[in-house]
Amino acid sequence: MACRGDTGERVDPLCGQRTASSGSAARRHLPRPGRARVRRHGLSVRLWHWVNLACLVTLFMSGLNISNAHPRLYWGEWGFESARAWLTLPRFPGWMTIPGHYSLSAARDWHLLAAWPFAGGLAFIWLTMLLTGHFRSDLMTRRSEWRPSAIRADIVAHFQLDFDSADGKLNFLQKLSYGIVLGVLLPGMVISGLGISPGIEPLARPLIELVGGRQSMRSLHFIFAWSLFAFFVVHVTLVLLSSPLTQVRDMITGGRHAA
């Protein structure tokens, strides 16, 4: 997750901390050691990022084990035979699943335990982003960014592996993908997960009816999960293409480089 260099005087909520930098143009790109003190990622973002990664990996891998119990997806309220399924998933091998052998009960244990820090962490990061203004200043898109010419320029820049926007903040495609992940896919995982729980169903009923039934909700749970997996692949690929060691180190330390 990239948050570009901070400017000298202001306190950037994502990048988080007060920075005492010289105001040179270097900050607009990846921090260069020895040039400025720059913090790219605030503490709350870094904490959440790694806790969220651990939760998502656990949820995804235990989810694949649960998927093996009944690998067919349906739309509507019910479904149990292949004739009604819109998709039959492959059987996921042990090395992809938690635990490493087929155990629906153990996979559910891991899945339902990891769901708590996952949902709590999501609530935490949203509260933090809204309270500190990080969401408004760094993630919310501006109307000008939606111009086709601006989007085209952003895509071209991406293909040239130039991910830095002119003002040193997230560019449009980054805002859009992080917005979809934070605003749609991650909350969607929580809501669709609760939506397939028979105990919570009386509460979630309007949402379940909105998507067409419990089995539709279950299908969405899988679709959101695989969308997050696709994001993960792109996210990691882009990190690997753009100085991976610096990126990972900055997401751990915050990316402050001594002057």
Partner 1 sequence: MRRRHVIGSLGALLAGGCSKIGDSAAPVSLFDSAERWHKQAQRLLAGRYSLAPEFDRSQVSPYFRGNGSRNVDTPEYAASAVSGFADWRLAVTGLVEHPLSLSLDNIHRLPQRTQVTRHDCVEGWSAIGEWTGPRLSTILRGAALKPEARFIVLRCADTLAGTQYYESIDLIDAFHPQTIIAHKLNGEPLPVRNGAPLRLRVERQLGYKHAKFLTGIEAVASLAGIGGGKGGYWEDRAGYQWYAGI
The footprint of partner 1 (CB under 8 A) covers 16-17, 43-44, 47, 66-67, 69-70, 72, 74, 77-81, 103-106, 108-110, 112-113, 115-116, 132, 196-203, 205, 208, 214-215, 218
What is the nearest approach in angstroms of partner 1 to the Cβ of residue 205? Answer: 6
Nearer to partner 1, 25 or 123 (CB): 123
Asked if 20 and 6 count as a contact pair (C-beta separation under 8 A), the reply is no
What is the nearest approach in angstroms of partner 1 to the Cβ of residue 89? Answer: 11
Nearer to partner 1, 90 or 199 (CB): 199
What is the Cα–Cα distance from 224 to 189, expressed in whole angstroms? 6
What is the Cα–Cα distance from 104 to 74, expressed in whole angstroms? 20
Nearer to partner 1, 87 or 153 (CB): 87
217: left (phi over 0), alpha (psi -120 to 50) or beta: alpha
Distance from first CA to last CA of the chain, Å, rounded?
Answer: 24
Nearer to partner 1, 5 or 193 (CB): 193
What is the nearest approach in angstroms of partner 1 to the Cβ of residue 185? Answer: 21
Q: C-alpha distances in angstroms, 183 versus 58, 158, 178, 245?
A: 21, 23, 8, 28
What is the nearest approach in angstroms of partner 1 to the Cβ of residue 44? Answer: 6
